Amino acid sequence: MYKKRCNDLVNELKITNQYREFKEINRVGGNYPLAKNNSSEINVFCSNDYLGMSQNKEVMLSMVDAIIKYGAGAGGSRNIGGTHKYFSLLEKSLSDWHKKESALIYPTGYSSNDATIQCLLRKFPDMVVFSDAKNHASIINGIRSVKNTKEVFRHNDVFDLEEKLKQYPLNTPKIIIFESVYSMDGDVAPIKEIADLAKVYNALTYLDEVHAVGMYGETGAGYSELLGVEKEIDIIQSTMAKGIGIIGGYIVSTEEIVDLVRSYASGFIFTTALPPSIVAGCLASVNHIKKSSKERDLLHKRTEYLREKLEEYSIPVLPESSTHIIPVIIGDSQKCKEASEELLNTFNIYVQPINSPTVEKGSERFRINATPNHTEEHIDHLCLAINTVFNKLDINKHEKQLLSS
């Protein structure tokens, strides 16, 4: 009975092309974005290692040094033997970076959203949560796990948000949860406008900067830094697995909010702490990003070149995208999968197909990003390959109509 149920559910995913297949991608140390798939050398164009910091020599050496000095693991949760010296150093660096009083580090970005949101809403049971319709699964899971009143506002729609805020008395606790850069569409939230609304309606603001930290702002602190509104945001959440290039998540906020979460969030309290080598690497990466604009400047230069080349071939990019995340729309789950396989097998290019439920049916896509380590020649090869594959699978014409409809 149980085995059949499992097989039936998985087969449903396979039939609709929603079944996730894991490609073995062995990145070549010191040569990212090059990697090995079986015996073939491939070029990766869909990694979240946006700045290539996982390959930074300073970062790697700091991790080697820490593992030799302190061993491979943390040994326990933060409360039971797992708090080593690198935590205080990194938390201080993160809070200073975001101009906040305090920071708290989690093992992953997912857990930093999920555990923090659950904690805040459980400790403020009368708090109404206002969530953007396209928020990440980690945010959605955190909200769904509590009994608080929930309001979902239309994506990036401040008018719809205000209409929902108006429904509640001024003294009702409220929190607005949204992202700065959205990972599947590559668009940007109206951060300042939402922060202004929060002041009017007495709401906390919770901003997920996962896809912006490292890439935007004078010191790479994210889109809120770019816009000069960090101080207007009550809680900033981000990850160390994307622009920072390693793994881990964090929040920064006031001392009171961070201490509340540190003291009550079960997803933080009852999990093993990150090892010294990981936190040391994150610290080295953050400190490098703060003082170096080289990587993000080159990222944006390569992104602009990629956009120009895609346009030359009339390859359809989602119009909402204005960031380093470039969604190339295919609009058919089967063709999306086939196009990905063709790029890998014929052109040695790895771009993962993004199908439902990650994106809506009919908007299946490649989520492409260049990095500072991609050359113009790499990008030329990518765009020629996509154009060839799209023509072979008869994708282009259909998708131009889709985007204009």
Could you give the residue numbers annotated as active site? Answer: 242
Q: Give one word for 220, left, alpha or beta, with left for phi > 0 and alpha for psi -120 to 50.
A: left
- Cα distances (Å, whole numbers) of residue 16 to 11, 242, 270, 333, 394: 9, 30, 37, 8, 20
Residue 269 burial class via C-beta count within 10 angstroms: exposed 0-12, middle 13-18, buried 19 and up: middle
- DSSP per-residue codes, 109-157: HHHHHHHHHHHHHHHSTT-EEEEETT--HHHHHHHHTS-S-EEEEPTT-
Structure tokens at 181: 């850069």
Asked whether the beta carbons of 210 and 239 are under 8 A apart, the reply is yes
Supply the DSSP symbol for 83: -
Structure tokens at 194: 């939402």
The amino acid that residue 119 corresponds to is C
Q: Classify 196 as helix, strand or coil.
A: helix
Q: Classify 243 as helix, strand or coil.
A: coil
Q: Residues, the chain, total?
A: 405
